[in-house]
Amino acid sequence: MDFQSVKGKVVVVTGASRGIGAAIAKLYGASGMKVVCAARSKEQGQAVADEICGKGGDAIFIRTDCSDASQVKALIDGAVAHYGCLDGVVSNAGIGQGGSPLHEYETEDYDKIFDLNSKGVFAGMKYGAEAILRSHSKGGFLINVASIAGLMPQRGQALYTATKFGVVGMTRVAALDYAKYGITVNAICPGYTKTSIFGDAPEQAMEFFANDCPAGRMGNPEECAYLALFLASDMARYITGAAIPVDGALSAGSKNVTSWKHPEILEEEN
C-alpha cells in the first residue's frame, strides 16, 4: 500500500481540535499533506497544528465556527491564500444531540444542530469544491464525516439523525455533480467511537455502547482517520458517492441469539 500520492496535497480539516478531526489532521500531517486545521477552540486547534509541525509536518490553524457559512468561506480562502491551492476538504465539525423523543426538542435545538451539522457541511463542500476546481487539482476530494445515524435511524435522535441523513444525501448528489471533474466525494459513517461527543456519559452507558456493537467494543478515532487517508489517496480515485460505515458491524443488521455447533474451533492451536 503506497500513500505517496497524498504528499503535498493541501487539505482543510474542520473540527480538528479533538476526536476524529484531530486524528485525521495528525495522520494527514504525518503522511506529508499540508493541513489547515479548523476549529472553534483556538487553544486546542493550535495545539494540533503545532503537534503536526513539531513532528516535521506542515500545518496551520484557522479559528472557524462552521455553523457560520461566512467563516467557512473565509477558512477556505485562507487556506488558498496560505498554500496557493486546495486539494481536499474534510467536513468533520459537528455536534451530537439525542436521547429525547421528538416532541421534547425545541425549535432552537433544530436551528443549532442544523446550522453546524448540515449548513456547515454544505458550506465546506460548496466553497471547497469551488476552490478545488479553481486549483485544477489532479486528486481532489471532499470527505464528510457523517454517522451510522445517517444510515439507520436511532431512537431519541430525531434531529441528529435528520442532519446525518442529509449529509449522506448531499454526499451522494455531489459525487454525481463532480465525478466528471475528478473530485471524489465520500462520507465516513462512524459508529460508537471514543470521542468527546459522549461527554460525561456514565460508565454504565459506555458499557452499553460497547456491548451493543457486534464487535464488542467502541471504535477509536484513528480507525476513521485511516479510512480518510485512503480516500484522499490515488488508490481511491474510483470510489465516490460512498457512505462507508466504521462501526464494528453495528449498522450491518440486528443482533440475534445464536449458538455455535463447534465452538471448540476457537480453542484449536495453529
pLDDT digits (tens, 9 = 90+) for 78-91: 999 999 999 999 99
Long-range contacts of 73-81 (CB under 8 A, 24+ apart): 73/123, 73/127, 75/12, 75/14, 75/36, 75/38, 75/127, 76/12, 76/124, 76/127, 76/128, 76/130, 76/131, 77/127, 77/131, 78/36, 79/10, 79/12, 79/36, 79/131, 80/131, 80/134, 80/135
Three-state SS sequence of 115-148? HHHHHHHHHHHHHHHHHHHHHCCCCCEEEEECCH
The whole-angstrom separation of Cα 95 and Cα 159 is 11
Domain limits, the chain? 4-252
The H or E element spanning position 184 is strand 184-190
pLDDT (tens digit per residue) in 172-226: 999 999 999 999 999 999 999 988 777 667 788 888 889 889 999 999 999 999 9
Residues 2/27, Cβ–Cβ less than 8 Å: no
Region 166-174: what's the mean pLDDT? 98
- The reported pLDDT for the residue numbered 97 is 86
Q: Are 117 and 163 in contact (CB under 8 A)?
A: yes
The two beta strands, 34-39 and 10-14, are parallel
pLDDT the model gives residue 196 = 75
Looking at every residue in the chain, the average pLDDT score rounds to 94
Please say whether the beta carbons of 96 and 126 come within 8 A.
no
Decide: helix, strand or coil at residue 191.
Answer: coil
Candidates 100, 93, 95, 243; CA nearest to 158 is 100
* Residues 230-245 as b or e (16 or more Cβ within 10 Å = b): bbbbeebeeebbbbbb
Which residue carries 471547497 as its cell?
128
pLDDT for residue 1: 67
Instruction: Please tell me the pTM assigned to this model.
Output: 0.93
pLDDT band for position 255 (cuts 50, 70, 90): confident
Whether residue 75 has pLDDT greater than 80? yes
Report H helices in 64-193.
69-83, 107-114, 120-135, 158-178
Per the CB < 8 A criterion, the answer to whether 159 and 118 are in contact is: no
**Residues that are catalytic:** 160
Q: Using DSSP, state whether 186 is helix, strand or coil.
A: strand
Residue 270 above 80 pLDDT?
no
pLDDT at 23 over 80: yes
- What is the dotted CATH code of the domain comprising 4-252? 3.40.50.720
- C-alpha 120/C-alpha 31 separation (Å) is 27
For the segment 158-164, the average pLDDT, to the nearest whole number, is: 97
